A and B are shown apart, each in its own frame.
Chain A
Amino acid sequence: MSRAERKREDEQYRTWKGPYRPYDLIREASIAVGVVLAIVVVLTILFSSPDDAPTTIQSWSKAAPVDFVSVANAELDGSSATAGYGPPYNTNGQPQQILGIKPANWFGVTYPIDTAQDYVILPLMTMTSVPGLQNAVKTYTSASSSQQGKWTTAYDSALAKAKANSDGTVTVPGNTASFGPVATMMSALLADAQSGGLDGNLLTTKQFYQTDYTKILMFLQDDNGDNAAANGGNLPDSANPGYFFNRAQSENLLGDQWGMMNETGSWPGQVWLWLYTFWYQIKPFSTSANADILVMAVMGVLSLAFVLIPFIPVINRIPRWIPIYKLIWREHYRQA
């Protein structure tokens, strides 16, 4: 069929000139709402919905104190994922790129996070009643960065053999002098976290009301089990490394478990995200350092194509070539 013929045919579809039959739009819509409401109520009664309590800094530090201290130490020495993330949190890392373009750089740092200050030093500076703590903080902050690195590295290496005690404290073996003030700082921070103080501290802003959980969630997501490895050590399994990560894994929420479209438990999640999630399962996306921006670019192109299907040659003719329409309108064709 030529283009002109197709255009002529298209014009024929503009107005229906055939028979009509009685129809009650409002009645049909009302019945549909009633039916859907009934289905929803039945599904609600039968299956309810999940509501797993959130992980808090307190619950994490109590369940996995060595893991918490390991992550806190990574925040202090700048080796955590957040510390090296780049925009929009800081300038320490390179954002993802596509064809040399880094869109994250366009807007810069919009939610600034200094992991050492925000997660460790500033909270510790509020704990003025802990003996020796402020001196330890002062010793650390006034030391050179290379000296700070030596202390945190030594402490992190020793954490591989650390043990959690029954009272919630952590015993870190080794030459304690090599830890400098870090051991004192981490002990105090752990106690603060286990009391719930750090949860509040990370949420507190200059104003009374707040709803921004960026800092505390970034701290939690740094608990991915990689912090110790990043510093040259590995936490033993007894340290319960990656507490937050493991909890997600047990709920099938990780990226390689098609996590974004899953819900906790056995409930259906955002199944409509299957195509987004699909790309993360295959190469080159699954192994690329720029996976997120590549997937978003692919989905952007596909979404545009989806919207513009009527204008895309071949794609807009497939319904004509594969005669599913004969099934849909079988009654019409039979009568015609």
Chain B
Amino acid sequence: MSATTDRSARKNWTVELRKRAVAALPPEKLLPDGQPAYLSSWIYVFGVLSLASLVVLIGSGSILALKGPTWWHVTGIGHFFNSMHLWSVELFFFFMVIHLWGKYWMAAWRGGRKRTWITGAVTFLVAIPCALTGYVSQQNFDSQWISTQAKDAMNATGIGAFFNLLDFGQMYSYHIYLLPVAVVALVVGHVLLVRKHGIVPPFILDEHQPILAAAATDGAAAAPPAEAEAERPAAAEATDVPDGQPQPATEAETPPTGEPEPTG
């Protein structure tokens, strides 16, 4: 219930933020129950698999953090969770790399989605030092060797002055707090951008380009893509869209900011 009048709402930061948030991401867009029909490739699975790996990664890492950095060296159950942490990070990067390659070959930045690509790419780059700080926090021979080898690159660039790979305490802080927070924040931003702008539609085939050009020449620059036109009868005939699902927009009903789509 709102205690704010229309007049005072204009000065209320909370109300303003809520209005903007709901306008950018209405609930049916944030948590969609429909997806564009073109999402029918296995490549779309790797985005959500990356997220799932991150969940397992954070879960296993949280258990390790709860018990402290020594625990996994001296107990079987601790070693088990450490192994889970290792394999989930391997999967996280594996899925993320395939996801990125898939998005590259889809040119997923098209149609105002450049920020979506940028946040995804930066997430990958920030995940690298996040993993590195984990490797040097293991407190075993591997961490000894990696830290002494990697320090030279850090020192040469000056980063080593405040990012000391040989300081376990500092690296542990980076690994269990600072960098994971950055990764999670970037992932949340990335997913929200995906939700806002939707998954990039397929390329318009070359044979349809002249149609577009002609339409533009006729002063119809805002005409829908030829392939969307081609899809439209199918949309009209679609019987598997239940009530309450986002319906395919007609030309006159084109939504201003796109339709709900999956995480992809």
Which residues from chain A sit less than 8 Å from chain B, CB to CB?
1, 5, 8-26, 28-29, 32-33, 35-37, 39-41, 43-44, 47-55, 85, 87-88, 95-96, 103-104, 106-108, 110-111, 210-214, 217-218, 220-221, 247-248, 251, 253, 255, 259-260, 263-264, 267-273, 276, 290, 292-293, 295-296, 303, 306-311, 316, 319-320, 322, 324-325, 328-333, 335-336
Contacts and interface: CB of A to CB of B under 8 A. Distances in A.
A19 B37 contact: yes
Nearest to B118: A307
A312 B140 CA distance: 43
B52 A8 contact: no
A335 B51 CA distance: 31
A19 B239 CA distance: 10
B107 A212 contact: no
Nearest to A17: B228
A35 B37 CA distance: 24
B131 A20 contact: no
A36 B52 CA distance: 6
A220 B234 CA distance: 69
A18 B232 contact: yes
Nearest to B258: A15
Interface in B166-224: 166-170, 172, 197-205, 209, 212-213, 216, 221-222, 224
B33 A16 contact: no
Nearest to A331: B40
B91 interface: yes
Contacts of A1: 209
A16 B201 contact: yes
A19 B128 contact: no
Contacts of A267: 86
A38 B160 CA distance: 39
A87 B155 contact: yes
Nearest to B261: A16
B258 A319 contact: no
B51 A32 contact: yes
B204 A9 contact: yes
A103 B204 CA distance: 48
Interface string B20-40: 000000000001111111101
Give me the 3 closest cross-chain CB pairs, A-B, nearest first. A211-B169, A13-B111, A107-B161
Contacts of B143: 54
Contacts of B145: 248, 251, 253, 259
B117 A309 contact: yes
B182 to A, nearest CB: 15
B105 A324 contact: yes
B48 interface: yes
Most buried by A among B48, B234, B245: B48
A238 B247 CA distance: 79
Interface string B221-246: 11011011011101100101110011
Contact of A264 (B121, B141, B251): B141
A8 B212 contact: yes
A328 B201 CA distance: 11
Contact of B140 (A33, A53, A220): A53
B68 interface: no
